Amino acid sequence: MKQKRFILSEKELPTRWYNIQAEMKNKPMALLHPGTKQPLKPEDLFPIFAEECSRQELNQTDAWIDIPEEVLDKYKSYRSTPLVRAYDLEKALGTPAHIYFKNESVNPLGSHKVNSALPQCYYCKQEGLTNVTTETGAGQWGAALAYAAKVFGLECAVYQVKISMQQKPYRSMIMRTFGATVEGSPSMSTRAGKSLITQDPSYSGSLGSAISEAIELATTTPGCKYTLGSVLSHVTLHQTIIGLEAEKQMEMAGEYPDVVIACFGGGSNFGGLAFPFMRHNLLEGKQTQFIAAEPESCPKLTRGEFRYDFGDESGYTPLLPMYTLGHNFHPANIHAGGLRYHGAGTIVSQLIKDKLMEGVDIPQTEAFKAAMLFAQTEGIIPAPESSHAIASAIREARKAKESGEEKVILFNLSGHGLIDMTAYDSYINGDLGDYQVSDDEIRRNLQDVPVV
């Protein structure tokens, strides 16, 4: 019998994160101060983020950053995650492709998010802070932060996008089990939330609106910092533990990926898996293809514009050079709550611009169809977000079948879908639909983007 799962021993775990910014030929453009429109220095970010995270965010020099001992120790509770060869999925597809997935769903919090929650909370604690706050969509980031905050003895307050809170009530219960307080966003507890509710009392929120509320809480509360689950470069940096492990594990399997795929919300699980492999494209001329799978209903990579835009809906964040649908874009209520975000991280945006990777957009029902096939072959019910990566991997495996190529496909199973069962129920009952975005809607929202 052939080996299915590849796992690293604790001694083999990576001890450094990989900072791709340092090795990109065209670096991401500078973040700009929203008031002065001047390039940001780390100090400008200190009021919002932990100081070490602020420095990491703008670090374009050091390719390798040491993982603190205390964080490594916590990583060891659940890492390495398995690299799995999906033999049964391959068989069902009748493809000659070799399909591998990195299974980030088996960690205690059920998604990759904890990889960055732990260092962010660690740095906050080190810097003498007492509280952290954040936004969350589907709740995977909120749950991870709630746990990490408990680990390092911090209080934690989470703003969860209202529609996700309703779709996935168990996630807020998970956060409360770890001791966090959770509020639906937009809420009446912040200026930003009140203003959004006044404009549209029925608005069910987005990541952009929840970010505004959390930043407002952080900047108005002593001892409290804001933390983010994706988009920013320091978050993606922490997630490179995924790809660094996968690199060693693919070596154990005796293969190297021709295609690397991950779903795409802000970019952290994508970059986390992809960047350590992309390094070999940048430095050694490898020709691996990189695909970021976004939802058809929130198509910033495939149909957005590369512009300076805010990271949040109320314009509290720095201006980020990114592919965006406009910070006022309200994504449809798809079940992949973690992908309902208007913009892409600055690194990925630069890479797309330089054609070093590509985006694809996946309709919701195609994602669920792929998820059902994956569940019934590999026995794991994937998160709706991760299902976009599966759908994209299946597209590639079908292409390989047509061309007869033994392509090696690697994708990230960023999380499980056990908290998303109502979405599966809707799909099985035929109640799920797709949501196309009109050119008009994109144009209209891009008009609100500030001109720099």
- Least CB distance to a copy of itself at residue 76 (A): 5
Q: Is the peptide bond preceding residue 119 cis, with omega within 30 degrees of 0?
A: no
Q: Looking at beta carbons only, is 5 or 443 nearer to a copy of itself?
A: 5
Binding residues for a copy of itself, per CB under 8 A? Answer: 1, 3-5, 7, 9-10, 69, 72-73, 76-78, 84, 88, 106, 108-110, 114, 147, 150-151, 169-170, 173-174, 176-179, 372, 375-376, 378-381, 418-419, 421-422, 424-425, 428
Q: Looking at beta carbons only, is 151 or 210 nearer to a copy of itself?
A: 151
CA 327 to chain centre: 18
**Rg of the chain over all Cα atoms, to the nearest angstrom:** 20
Q: Looking at beta carbons only, is 332 or 418 nearer to a copy of itself?
A: 418
- Least CB distance to a copy of itself at residue 33 (A): 38
Cα–Cα dist 244/186, whole Å? 37
Cα–Cα dist 436/133, whole Å? 33
Contact (Cβ atoms closer than 8 angstroms) between residue 151 and residue 118: yes
Q: Which amino acid type is present at position 383?
A: A
- Least CB distance to a copy of itself at residue 10 (A): 5
Q: Looking at beta carbons only, is 5 or 27 nearer to a copy of itself?
A: 5
Residue 36, token pair as written in the block: 């002065």
- Least CB distance to a copy of itself at residue 72 (A): 7
Cα–Cα dist 236/233, whole Å? 5
Contact (Cβ atoms closer than 8 angstroms) between residue 65 and residue 237: yes
Contact (Cβ atoms closer than 8 angstroms) between residue 233 and residue 345: yes
- Least CB distance to a copy of itself at residue 283 (A): 31
Q: Looking at beta carbons only, is 78 or 306 nearer to a copy of itself?
A: 78
Give the CA distances from residue 196 to residues 126, 201, 325, 361, in Å, rounded to whole numbers and listed in that order.
35, 8, 19, 29
Q: Looking at beta carbons only, is 141 or 310 nearer to a copy of itself?
A: 141
- Least CB distance to a copy of itself at residue 149 (A): 10
